[in-house]
Amino acid sequence: VHGGTSPGGISCSRTGCANKSAALGFLPQGGSSPRLGSGRRMAKANGLQLYQVTSLLGLVLGMNICAGFTAHRVRRSGEFGEEGPDSVLSDSPLISTYGSCKTRCFELDEAEPPLCRCDNLCKSYSSCCVDFDELCLKTAGGWECTKERCGETRNEDHACHCSEDCLSRGDCCSNYQVVCKGDTPWVMDDCEDIRTPECPAGFLHPPLIIFSVDGFRASYMKKGEKVMRNIEKLRSCGTHAPYMRPVYPTKTFPNLYTLATGL
């Protein structure tokens, strides 16, 4: 009806009747019925209950997964015992650091995994026995022989030895032959023409030689053997290493080699 009188003598129009009824208390403000508000509250309560049930199910499922994983680990450890599995899912061999380097320091036999090692390259392969540093990396007595030390009684606490049996045991100090046996030092020998790689005595693999020339000055080369005798020896005899690559500090001193190679 476009216009008229509602029950109770209230005049109504198409747009104003509902608002007038709300103003007089017949309907809630805004035109919504009590039944509609109750439905919204019920829907909200149902959503909250569903969220609580879902959270509870997730918690129970997570606890079951953790319990099953723990039981599986315990069962596997019981199958393998204290030794652990015979094999591991890894490309690298299992390396155990358990064992001792007592009487094994710098041995020439390369221990295979899972045994730990005590040779001079175990640090490179992270396979040293747990007591390698304590038993093998000693500094007492220094690293060179003196005339007073020649023929000394062996002292196992020394880093290297000058006793008569050091040659047979392979633990002489680096200058033992020169100081105690009268040999000429390497830098004084004639140049050698070495055609094939040679592994020095006491090494299982060829050692990696690194020259650190940080702050190296051209004057060092001019002074020759007075400053750096070994480098003077290499310079005078000439060297060739097919796999040697120069590396320059790229962050502080960029140069053409660095820009070209990225090294």
77 located within any domain: no
Same domain for 160 and 132? no
Domain containing 106 — which CATH number?
A: 4.10.410.20
What one-character DSSP code corresponds to residue 226? G
114 located within any domain: yes
Same domain for 145 and 133? no
Residues with Cβ < 8 Å from 258, sequence gap 6 or more? 248, 250
Among the three residues 137, 165, 197, which one is the final residue of a domain in this structure? 137
- Taking the whole predicted model, whether its pTM rises above 0.75 is answered as no
163 located within any domain: yes
Token output for 160: 């290297």
Q: Is-contact 150 180, C-beta < 8 A?
A: yes
Residue 252 annotated to the active site: yes
- Look-up: residue for tokens 């007591």? 131
User: In angstroms, what CA-CA distances link 149 with 98, 160, 167?
Assistant: 35, 11, 15
39 located within any domain: no
Task: Give dist(CA 72, CA 84) in Å, integer.
Answer: 15
Token output for 235: 């310079």
Task: Give dist(CA 238, CA 145) in Å, integer.
Answer: 29
155 located within any domain: yes
27 located within any domain: no
Same domain for 120 and 153? no
112 located within any domain: yes
User: What is the span of the domain harbouring residue 170?
Assistant: 139-181
Same domain for 133 and 168? no
How large is the C-alpha radius of gyration of the chain? 43
Same domain for 132 and 154? no
Read off φ and ψ for residue 220, nearest 5 degrees: -60, -40
125 located within any domain: yes
Token output for 119: 């040779």
CA angle in degrees (0–180, nearest 5) for 242-246-252: 170
In the set 97, 252, 258, 261, the catalytic residue is 252
Among the three residues 71, 105, 137, which one is the final residue of a domain in this structure? 137
Each residue's pLDDT, cut to its tens digit, for the chain (263 residues) gives 444 444 444 445 444 444 444 444 444 444 445 554 566 666 666 666 777 777 777 777 777 676 666 666 656 555 545 444 444 444 444 444 468 888 888 887 777 777 888 887 888 888 889 888 888 887 778 888 999 999 999 988 888 899 999 988 888 888 899 999 999 888 888 888 877 777 766 666 766 666 666 566 667 667 766 777 777 787 788 776 666 666 655 455 555 555 555 55
Q: Provide the number of structural domains found in the chain.
A: 3
